[in-house]
Chains A and B, each alone.
Chain A
Amino acid sequence: MGELTFPQTLPTLGTVGVSFEPEEVAFLSPEAGGTIGAVTAGFPRWVLRASLGQMTFAQADIWRAWLAVQRGPQRPFFAYDMDRQHPRFHGKSRPYQPAPATWSQAIRPDGLAVLTLGGLLAGQVVSIGDYVGLIWSGGKLALTRAVETRGADGSGSVSVAVEPPIPPVVPADAAATLRRAGCLMRLVPGETKLGEAGITHFSAGTTIVAVQDLIR
Protein backbone atom coordinates (compact mmCIF):
# COMPACT_ATOMS: atom_id res chain seq x y z
CA MET A 1 0.00 0.00 0.00
CA GLY A 2 1.64 3.24 -1.13
CA GLU A 3 1.78 6.37 0.95
CA LEU A 4 1.25 8.85 -1.90
CA THR A 5 -1.88 10.94 -1.81
CA PHE A 6 -3.37 13.18 -4.47
CA PRO A 7 -3.25 16.00 -5.29
CA GLN A 8 0.51 15.95 -4.98
CA THR A 9 2.39 19.09 -4.01
CA LEU A 10 4.80 20.63 -6.49
CA PRO A 11 8.45 19.99 -5.48
CA THR A 12 10.70 23.06 -5.22
CA LEU A 13 14.16 21.51 -5.53
CA GLY A 14 16.59 23.02 -8.00
CA THR A 15 14.29 25.72 -9.33
CA VAL A 16 16.28 28.55 -10.92
CA GLY A 17 13.56 30.46 -12.73
CA VAL A 18 9.90 30.83 -11.88
CA SER A 19 7.09 32.71 -13.56
CA PHE A 20 3.80 32.48 -11.74
CA GLU A 21 1.28 34.90 -13.21
CA PRO A 22 -2.42 35.19 -13.95
CA GLU A 23 -3.11 34.93 -17.65
CA GLU A 24 -5.90 36.64 -19.57
CA VAL A 25 -7.10 35.87 -23.06
CA ALA A 26 -7.96 39.26 -24.52
CA PHE A 27 -8.56 40.76 -27.92
CA LEU A 28 -7.94 44.28 -29.15
CA SER A 29 -9.95 45.94 -31.88
CA PRO A 30 -8.41 49.25 -32.89
CA GLU A 31 -10.62 51.34 -35.12
CA ALA A 32 -9.63 53.85 -37.76
CA GLY A 33 -11.46 56.56 -35.85
CA GLY A 34 -9.01 56.28 -32.97
CA THR A 35 -11.10 54.22 -30.59
CA ILE A 36 -9.48 51.09 -29.25
CA GLY A 37 -11.98 48.49 -28.25
CA ALA A 38 -11.03 45.52 -26.13
CA VAL A 39 -12.78 42.41 -24.98
CA THR A 40 -11.67 39.61 -22.70
CA ALA A 41 -12.66 36.02 -23.28
CA GLY A 42 -13.39 33.95 -20.22
CA PHE A 43 -11.76 34.16 -16.82
CA PRO A 44 -8.14 34.59 -15.74
CA ARG A 45 -6.14 31.55 -14.75
CA TRP A 46 -2.77 31.10 -13.12
CA VAL A 47 0.09 29.86 -15.26
CA LEU A 48 3.32 28.43 -13.83
CA ARG A 49 6.56 28.25 -15.79
CA ALA A 50 9.55 26.95 -13.89
CA SER A 51 12.97 26.03 -15.18
CA LEU A 52 15.30 23.87 -13.18
CA GLY A 53 19.06 24.18 -12.97
CA GLN A 54 21.67 21.48 -12.45
CA MET A 55 20.58 19.00 -9.83
CA THR A 56 22.13 16.13 -7.96
CA PHE A 57 20.80 12.72 -8.88
CA ALA A 58 18.92 12.55 -5.59
CA GLN A 59 17.09 15.79 -6.38
CA ALA A 60 16.44 14.74 -9.95
CA ASP A 61 14.97 11.45 -8.76
CA ILE A 62 12.32 13.36 -6.83
CA TRP A 63 11.33 15.37 -9.91
CA ARG A 64 11.36 12.34 -12.17
CA ALA A 65 9.18 10.36 -9.79
CA TRP A 66 6.84 13.32 -9.37
CA LEU A 67 6.51 13.91 -13.12
CA ALA A 68 5.92 10.23 -13.76
CA VAL A 69 3.19 9.95 -11.16
CA GLN A 70 1.43 13.03 -12.54
CA ARG A 71 0.88 11.02 -15.73
CA GLY A 72 1.17 14.11 -17.90
CA PRO A 73 -1.90 16.29 -17.47
CA GLN A 74 -3.99 13.54 -15.94
CA ARG A 75 -3.68 14.48 -12.28
CA PRO A 76 -4.15 17.95 -10.88
CA PHE A 77 -1.50 18.98 -8.37
CA PHE A 78 -1.11 21.69 -5.79
CA ALA A 79 1.03 24.51 -7.18
CA TYR A 80 2.19 27.75 -5.61
CA ASP A 81 4.75 30.48 -6.22
CA MET A 82 7.99 28.90 -5.02
CA ASP A 83 9.52 32.32 -4.44
CA ARG A 84 6.79 33.59 -2.14
CA GLN A 85 5.62 30.86 0.19
CA HIS A 86 5.15 33.35 3.02
CA PRO A 87 4.26 37.05 2.96
CA ARG A 88 7.26 39.30 2.37
CA PHE A 89 7.13 40.76 5.90
CA HIS A 90 7.21 37.88 8.34
CA GLY A 91 9.79 36.59 10.77
CA LYS A 92 12.26 38.79 12.67
CA SER A 93 9.59 39.10 15.39
CA ARG A 94 7.24 40.96 13.06
CA PRO A 95 3.56 40.31 13.73
CA TYR A 96 2.55 37.37 11.54
CA GLN A 97 -0.67 35.39 11.66
CA PRO A 98 -0.81 33.18 8.55
CA ALA A 99 -4.49 32.26 8.83
CA PRO A 100 -6.95 35.18 8.63
CA ALA A 101 -10.10 34.40 10.61
CA THR A 102 -12.42 36.13 8.18
CA TRP A 103 -12.33 37.36 4.61
CA SER A 104 -14.64 39.29 2.34
CA GLN A 105 -14.32 40.77 -1.09
CA ALA A 106 -15.84 44.01 -2.36
CA ILE A 107 -15.72 45.15 -5.98
CA ARG A 108 -15.28 48.90 -6.41
CA PRO A 109 -17.31 50.63 -9.13
CA ASP A 110 -14.18 50.76 -11.29
CA GLY A 111 -13.85 46.98 -11.07
CA LEU A 112 -10.99 46.76 -8.58
CA ALA A 113 -11.34 43.89 -6.12
CA VAL A 114 -10.64 44.80 -2.51
CA LEU A 115 -10.12 41.95 -0.09
CA THR A 116 -10.69 42.55 3.61
CA LEU A 117 -8.95 40.11 5.93
CA GLY A 118 -9.87 39.99 9.62
CA GLY A 119 -8.28 38.31 12.60
CA LEU A 120 -4.69 39.21 11.77
CA LEU A 121 -2.29 40.74 14.28
CA ALA A 122 -2.15 44.50 14.79
CA GLY A 123 0.53 45.97 12.53
CA GLN A 124 0.82 42.88 10.33
CA VAL A 125 1.68 43.90 6.78
CA VAL A 126 0.15 42.40 3.66
CA SER A 127 2.70 43.38 1.06
CA ILE A 128 2.46 43.84 -2.68
CA GLY A 129 2.92 40.38 -4.22
CA ASP A 130 1.72 38.42 -1.19
CA TYR A 131 -0.62 35.55 -2.02
CA VAL A 132 -3.99 34.87 -0.43
CA GLY A 133 -5.39 31.40 -0.89
CA LEU A 134 -8.89 30.16 -0.17
CA ILE A 135 -9.89 26.56 0.40
CA TRP A 136 -13.38 25.19 0.66
CA SER A 137 -15.40 21.97 0.53
CA GLY A 138 -12.40 19.78 1.19
CA GLY A 139 -9.93 20.74 -1.47
CA LYS A 140 -11.31 23.34 -3.86
CA LEU A 141 -8.85 26.21 -4.15
CA ALA A 142 -8.85 29.82 -5.26
CA LEU A 143 -5.80 32.04 -5.37
CA THR A 144 -5.23 35.77 -5.57
CA ARG A 145 -2.35 38.17 -5.06
CA ALA A 146 -2.11 41.56 -3.37
CA VAL A 147 -1.34 44.49 -5.67
CA GLU A 148 -0.71 47.05 -2.91
CA THR A 149 0.94 47.12 0.50
CA ARG A 150 -1.30 47.73 3.51
CA GLY A 151 -0.80 47.30 7.24
CA ALA A 152 -3.42 45.85 9.56
CA ASP A 153 -5.12 48.26 11.95
CA GLY A 154 -5.29 47.87 15.73
CA SER A 155 -8.05 45.27 15.52
CA GLY A 156 -6.07 43.13 13.06
CA SER A 157 -8.13 43.95 10.00
CA VAL A 158 -6.65 44.91 6.63
CA SER A 159 -8.17 45.88 3.27
CA VAL A 160 -5.96 45.31 0.28
CA ALA A 161 -6.54 45.37 -3.49
CA VAL A 162 -6.00 41.99 -5.13
CA GLU A 163 -5.69 40.59 -8.64
CA PRO A 164 -7.29 38.47 -10.02
CA PRO A 165 -10.59 38.95 -8.17
CA ILE A 166 -11.86 35.94 -6.26
CA PRO A 167 -14.58 34.28 -8.36
CA PRO A 168 -18.12 34.41 -6.94
CA VAL A 169 -18.22 30.62 -6.69
CA VAL A 170 -16.03 30.73 -3.55
CA PRO A 171 -18.38 30.41 -0.56
CA ALA A 172 -18.17 32.87 2.33
CA ASP A 173 -17.10 30.11 4.74
CA ALA A 174 -13.98 29.25 2.74
CA ALA A 175 -10.82 29.29 4.84
CA ALA A 176 -8.20 31.91 3.93
CA THR A 177 -4.46 31.44 4.24
CA LEU A 178 -1.35 33.56 3.64
CA ARG A 179 1.09 30.67 4.00
CA ARG A 180 1.91 28.67 0.90
CA ALA A 181 -1.23 29.79 -0.86
CA GLY A 182 -1.74 27.95 -4.10
CA CYS A 183 -4.14 26.50 -6.59
CA LEU A 184 -4.69 23.25 -8.46
CA MET A 185 -2.89 22.98 -11.77
CA ARG A 186 -2.31 20.47 -14.52
CA LEU A 187 0.87 20.02 -16.52
CA VAL A 188 0.95 21.25 -20.11
CA PRO A 189 2.10 18.13 -21.99
CA GLY A 190 3.97 19.64 -24.96
CA GLU A 191 5.96 22.17 -22.95
CA THR A 192 6.99 20.20 -19.89
CA LYS A 193 10.41 18.68 -20.55
CA LEU A 194 12.85 16.72 -18.43
CA GLY A 195 16.61 17.29 -18.56
CA GLU A 196 19.18 14.55 -18.98
CA ALA A 197 21.34 12.62 -16.58
CA GLY A 198 25.04 13.34 -17.04
CA ILE A 199 28.08 11.67 -15.54
CA THR A 200 28.35 13.78 -12.37
CA HIS A 201 25.03 15.57 -12.20
CA PHE A 202 21.60 15.88 -13.73
CA SER A 203 21.79 18.57 -16.41
CA ALA A 204 19.90 21.84 -16.45
CA GLY A 205 17.05 22.24 -18.90
CA THR A 206 14.06 20.77 -17.13
CA THR A 207 11.03 22.93 -17.77
CA ILE A 208 7.74 22.64 -15.95
CA VAL A 209 4.72 24.39 -17.46
CA ALA A 210 1.32 24.13 -15.83
CA VAL A 211 -2.02 25.93 -15.98
CA GLN A 212 -4.67 26.29 -13.34
CA ASP A 213 -7.58 23.91 -13.50
CA LEU A 214 -10.47 26.22 -12.72
CA ILE A 215 -13.09 23.52 -12.73
CA ARG A 216 -11.64 21.54 -9.86
Chain B
Amino acid sequence: MRAFSDAAMAAIEAGTARVVGAVEILCDPPLRVWGGPWEQEIDGHDYIGVGDRGIASTGGAAIGSAAQNVTLELSGVDPTHLELLDADEVRAAPAVLRRLIFDGSGTQLLDVHVYRRGRVDVVSTEETIGGAAIIRAELEGAARGLGRRGGRLRADADQRLVAPDDGAFKHVSYAAEKQLYWGGKPPTSAGQALG
Protein backbone atom coordinates (compact mmCIF):
# COMPACT_ATOMS: atom_id res chain seq x y z
CA MET B 1 0.00 0.00 0.00
CA ARG B 2 1.41 3.33 -1.01
CA ALA B 3 0.21 6.45 0.68
CA PHE B 4 0.82 9.59 -1.32
CA SER B 5 0.95 12.92 0.42
CA ASP B 6 -2.09 15.12 -0.21
CA ALA B 7 -0.09 17.57 -2.31
CA ALA B 8 1.34 14.78 -4.46
CA MET B 9 -2.10 13.22 -4.93
CA ALA B 10 -3.51 16.58 -6.00
CA ALA B 11 -0.70 17.03 -8.51
CA ILE B 12 -1.26 13.55 -9.93
CA GLU B 13 -4.99 14.20 -10.29
CA ALA B 14 -4.36 17.55 -11.93
CA GLY B 15 -1.86 15.98 -14.31
CA THR B 16 0.95 18.31 -13.28
CA ALA B 17 3.09 15.81 -11.40
CA ARG B 18 6.71 15.39 -12.38
CA VAL B 19 8.06 11.95 -11.57
CA VAL B 20 11.71 11.12 -11.03
CA GLY B 21 13.27 7.92 -9.72
CA ALA B 22 16.03 7.33 -7.20
CA VAL B 23 18.07 4.19 -6.61
CA GLU B 24 19.96 3.14 -3.53
CA ILE B 25 22.18 0.07 -3.70
CA LEU B 26 23.67 -0.86 -0.36
CA CYS B 27 26.90 -2.36 -1.54
CA ASP B 28 30.21 -1.18 -0.14
CA PRO B 29 30.49 1.78 -0.66
CA PRO B 30 26.74 2.42 -1.03
CA LEU B 31 25.62 3.81 -4.36
CA ARG B 32 22.90 6.45 -4.37
CA VAL B 33 21.79 8.09 -7.60
CA TRP B 34 18.64 9.81 -8.78
CA GLY B 35 17.34 11.07 -12.10
CA GLY B 36 17.57 14.79 -11.51
CA PRO B 37 20.28 17.29 -12.28
CA TRP B 38 21.37 18.25 -8.79
CA GLU B 39 22.38 16.53 -5.58
CA GLN B 40 19.25 15.65 -3.64
CA GLU B 41 18.88 14.60 -0.04
CA ILE B 42 16.46 11.74 0.49
CA ASP B 43 15.90 10.24 3.95
CA GLY B 44 19.12 11.73 5.25
CA HIS B 45 21.41 10.61 2.44
CA ASP B 46 22.77 12.57 -0.51
CA TYR B 47 21.89 11.20 -3.92
CA ILE B 48 24.05 12.05 -6.95
CA GLY B 49 22.11 13.45 -9.88
CA VAL B 50 22.67 11.39 -13.03
CA GLY B 51 19.93 12.90 -15.19
CA ASP B 52 18.28 10.94 -17.94
CA ARG B 53 21.21 8.60 -18.22
CA GLY B 54 19.44 6.39 -15.70
CA ILE B 55 16.31 4.58 -16.68
CA ALA B 56 14.22 2.18 -14.63
CA SER B 57 11.80 -0.09 -16.36
CA THR B 58 9.42 -2.38 -14.60
CA GLY B 59 7.24 -5.15 -15.86
CA GLY B 60 3.57 -5.36 -15.09
CA ALA B 61 2.57 -6.83 -11.78
CA ALA B 62 -0.77 -7.95 -10.44
CA ILE B 63 -1.95 -8.35 -6.89
CA GLY B 64 -1.49 -11.94 -5.87
CA SER B 65 0.81 -12.92 -8.73
CA ALA B 66 4.56 -13.27 -8.76
CA ALA B 67 6.54 -10.04 -8.39
CA GLN B 68 8.30 -8.82 -11.49
CA ASN B 69 11.91 -7.86 -11.73
CA VAL B 70 12.81 -4.22 -12.17
CA THR B 71 15.55 -3.51 -14.66
CA LEU B 72 17.69 -0.44 -14.05
CA GLU B 73 19.65 0.93 -16.94
CA LEU B 74 22.45 3.43 -16.77
CA SER B 75 23.62 4.47 -20.21
CA GLY B 76 26.29 6.87 -21.37
CA VAL B 77 28.01 6.00 -18.13
CA ASP B 78 30.97 8.06 -17.09
CA PRO B 79 33.75 6.61 -14.96
CA THR B 80 32.39 7.96 -11.66
CA HIS B 81 29.41 5.64 -11.95
CA LEU B 82 31.46 2.64 -12.93
CA GLU B 83 32.43 2.22 -9.30
CA LEU B 84 29.16 0.33 -9.01
CA LEU B 85 30.90 -2.60 -10.66
CA ASP B 86 34.00 -2.26 -8.53
CA ALA B 87 32.05 -2.30 -5.32
CA ASP B 88 32.28 -5.33 -3.10
CA GLU B 89 29.41 -7.74 -3.10
CA VAL B 90 27.16 -5.89 -5.44
CA ARG B 91 25.44 -9.15 -6.18
CA ALA B 92 22.51 -9.69 -3.86
CA ALA B 93 23.12 -6.29 -2.29
CA PRO B 94 19.91 -4.76 -0.97
CA ALA B 95 18.49 -2.15 -3.30
CA VAL B 96 15.72 0.38 -2.82
CA LEU B 97 13.96 2.07 -5.71
CA ARG B 98 12.23 5.28 -4.72
CA ARG B 99 9.88 7.52 -6.61
CA LEU B 100 10.02 11.28 -6.19
CA ILE B 101 7.03 13.39 -7.11
CA PHE B 102 7.65 17.05 -7.84
CA ASP B 103 5.10 19.78 -8.54
CA GLY B 104 4.61 21.01 -12.10
CA SER B 105 7.30 23.65 -11.78
CA GLY B 106 9.89 21.05 -10.77
CA THR B 107 10.98 23.16 -7.81
CA GLN B 108 9.05 21.57 -4.97
CA LEU B 109 9.42 17.99 -3.83
CA LEU B 110 5.94 16.84 -2.84
CA ASP B 111 6.50 13.21 -1.95
CA VAL B 112 9.14 10.52 -1.76
CA HIS B 113 8.12 6.94 -1.33
CA VAL B 114 9.64 3.52 -1.75
CA TYR B 115 8.53 2.03 -5.03
CA ARG B 116 10.25 -1.33 -4.79
CA ARG B 117 12.67 -3.03 -2.47
CA GLY B 118 14.76 -5.93 -3.58
CA ARG B 119 18.19 -7.26 -4.17
CA VAL B 120 20.53 -6.83 -7.08
CA ASP B 121 20.28 -9.99 -9.13
CA VAL B 122 22.20 -9.74 -12.38
CA VAL B 123 24.49 -6.86 -13.29
CA SER B 124 25.49 -6.81 -16.93
CA THR B 125 27.39 -4.31 -19.00
CA GLU B 126 27.13 -3.59 -22.66
CA GLU B 127 29.90 -1.70 -24.32
CA THR B 128 29.90 -0.70 -27.94
CA ILE B 129 33.10 0.65 -29.41
CA GLY B 130 32.28 4.17 -30.50
CA GLY B 131 28.92 3.96 -28.76
CA ALA B 132 27.50 4.28 -25.31
CA ALA B 133 28.36 2.09 -22.36
CA ILE B 134 25.40 0.67 -20.51
CA ILE B 135 25.21 -0.90 -17.09
CA ARG B 136 22.09 -2.94 -16.52
CA ALA B 137 21.13 -4.11 -13.07
CA GLU B 138 18.17 -6.32 -12.37
CA LEU B 139 16.48 -5.92 -9.03
CA GLU B 140 14.75 -8.95 -7.72
CA GLY B 141 11.68 -8.19 -5.70
CA ALA B 142 11.40 -9.44 -2.14
CA ALA B 143 8.81 -12.02 -3.18
CA ARG B 144 11.20 -13.89 -5.43
CA GLY B 145 13.65 -16.04 -3.53
CA LEU B 146 15.64 -13.59 -1.49
CA GLY B 147 19.27 -14.56 -1.21
CA ARG B 148 18.76 -17.91 -2.83
CA ARG B 149 21.70 -20.23 -3.18
CA GLY B 150 22.00 -22.64 -6.04
CA GLY B 151 18.89 -24.07 -7.64
CA ARG B 152 15.42 -23.98 -6.28
CA LEU B 153 13.42 -26.99 -5.17
CA ARG B 154 10.63 -27.68 -7.53
CA ALA B 155 9.82 -31.33 -7.54
CA ASP B 156 9.60 -34.45 -5.43
CA ALA B 157 12.78 -35.77 -7.08
CA ASP B 158 14.72 -32.68 -5.96
CA GLN B 159 13.62 -33.11 -2.40
CA ARG B 160 14.41 -36.84 -2.39
CA LEU B 161 18.01 -35.93 -3.30
CA VAL B 162 18.21 -33.81 -0.17
CA ALA B 163 16.32 -36.14 2.12
CA PRO B 164 15.43 -39.56 0.64
CA ASP B 165 12.65 -40.14 3.15
CA ASP B 166 10.93 -36.78 2.70
CA GLY B 167 7.98 -37.27 0.39
CA ALA B 168 6.15 -34.01 1.10
CA PHE B 169 6.98 -32.53 -2.28
CA LYS B 170 5.02 -35.18 -4.15
CA HIS B 171 1.97 -33.05 -3.36
CA VAL B 172 3.48 -29.93 -4.87
CA SER B 173 2.82 -30.72 -8.49
CA TYR B 174 -0.94 -30.60 -8.10
CA ALA B 175 -1.21 -28.41 -4.99
CA ALA B 176 -1.49 -25.36 -7.19
CA GLU B 177 -4.72 -26.70 -8.65
CA LYS B 178 -6.27 -27.88 -5.43
CA GLN B 179 -9.41 -25.96 -4.57
CA LEU B 180 -10.42 -25.76 -0.94
CA TYR B 181 -13.91 -24.71 0.13
CA TRP B 182 -14.65 -23.41 3.55
CA GLY B 183 -17.58 -25.23 5.02
CA GLY B 184 -18.77 -27.81 2.57
CA LYS B 185 -19.62 -28.00 -1.08
CA PRO B 186 -19.44 -24.96 -3.35
CA PRO B 187 -22.81 -23.36 -4.22
CA THR B 188 -24.05 -24.27 -7.70
CA SER B 189 -26.60 -21.47 -8.05
CA ALA B 190 -27.06 -17.95 -6.76
CA GLY B 191 -30.22 -18.93 -4.86
CA GLN B 192 -28.38 -21.59 -3.01
CA ALA B 193 -25.58 -19.17 -2.08
CA LEU B 194 -27.95 -16.45 -0.79
CA GLY B 195 -30.69 -18.60 0.67
Give A1-38 as 1s and 0s: 1 = Cβ < 8 Å from B's Cβ atoms.
Answer: 00000000000000000000000000000000000111
On A, residues with C-beta under 8 Å from B are: 36-44, 105, 107, 111-113, 164-169, 214-215
B17, B36, B49, B108: the one contacting A107 at CB < 8 Å is B108
- Residues of chain B in range 1-36 having any CB-CB distance to chain A below 8 Å: 12-13, 15-20, 35-36
13 A–B contact pairs at CB < 8 A?
Answer: A41-B20, A42-B19, A42-B20, A43-B37, A105-B107, A107-B103, A107-B105, A111-B103, A113-B105, A165-B105, A214-B37, A214-B51, A215-B51
Q: Is B104 part of the contact surface with A, judged by Cβ < 8 Å?
A: yes
How distant is A8 from chain B, measured CB to nearest CB, in Å? 20
- B15/A164 in contact, CB under 8 A: no
How distant is B49 from chain A, measured CB to nearest CB, in Å? 6
- A168/B107 in contact, CB under 8 A: yes
How distant is B112 from chain A, measured CB to nearest CB, in Å? 15
- B18/A40 in contact, CB under 8 A: yes
- B106/A43 in contact, CB under 8 A: yes
Specify which chain A residues have a CB less than 8 angstroms from the CB of B35 in the assembled complex.
42
Interface SS of chain B:
loop
- B37/A215 in contact, CB under 8 A: yes
Q: Is B95 part of the contact surface with A, judged by Cβ < 8 Å?
A: no
- A111/B19 in contact, CB under 8 A: no
Specify which chain B residues have a CB less than 8 angstroms from the CB of A105 in the assembled complex.
107
- How far apart are the CA atoms of A165 and B102 in the complex, in Å? 13
Interface SS of chain A:
strand
CB-based nearest A residue for B40: A169
- B15/A37 in contact, CB under 8 A: yes
How distant is B23 from chain A, measured CB to nearest CB, in Å? 14
- How far apart are the CA atoms of A159 and B17 in the complex, in Å? 25
Specify which chain A residues have a CB less than 8 angstroms from the CB of B106 in the assembled complex.
43-44, 164-165, 167
Specify which chain A residues have a CB less than 8 angstroms from the CB of B19 in the assembled complex.
39-42
On B, residues with C-beta under 8 Å from A are: 12-13, 15-20, 35-39, 49-52, 103-108
Specify which chain B residues have a CB less than 8 angstroms from the CB of A39 in the assembled complex.
12, 15, 17-19
Specify which chain B residues have a CB less than 8 angstroms from the CB of A169 in the assembled complex.
37-39
A38, A41, A42, A44: the one contacting B15 at CB < 8 Å is A38
Specify which chain A residues have a CB less than 8 angstroms from the CB of B104 in the assembled complex.
40, 111
Given A40-B104, A167-B106, A111 contacting B37 (CB threshold 8 A): no
Given A36-B15, A42-B36, 13 other A-B residues pairs in contact with their CB atoms under 8 A: A37-B13, A37-B15, A39-B18, A40-B16, A40-B19, A43-B37, A107-B107, A111-B16, A111-B103, A165-B106, A167-B37, A167-B38, A168-B108
CB-based nearest B residue for A214: B37
How distant is B7 from chain A, measured CB to nearest CB, in Å? 11
How distant is A72 from chain B, measured CB to nearest CB, in Å? 10
How distant is A42 from chain B, measured CB to nearest CB, in Å? 6
How distant is A39 from chain B, measured CB to nearest CB, in Å? 5
Specify which chain A residues have a CB less than 8 angstroms from the CB of B18 in the assembled complex.
39-43
B17, B52, B107, B108: the one contacting A40 at CB < 8 Å is B17
Specify which chain B residues have a CB less than 8 angstroms from the CB of A112 in the assembled complex.
105
How distant is B190 from chain A, measured CB to nearest CB, in Å? 29
How distant is B98 from chain A, measured CB to nearest CB, in Å? 15
How distant is B79 from chain A, measured CB to nearest CB, in Å? 14
Specify which chain A residues have a CB less than 8 angstroms from the CB of B103 in the assembled complex.
107, 111
How distant is B185 from chain A, measured CB to nearest CB, in Å? 39
- How far apart are the CA atoms of A168 and B15 in the complex, in Å? 21
- How far apart are the CA atoms of A214 and B51 in the complex, in Å? 7
Specify which chain B residues have a CB less than 8 angstroms from the CB of A113 in the assembled complex.
105, 107
- B105/A111 in contact, CB under 8 A: yes
Specify which chain B residues have a CB less than 8 angstroms from the CB of A38 in the assembled complex.
15-16
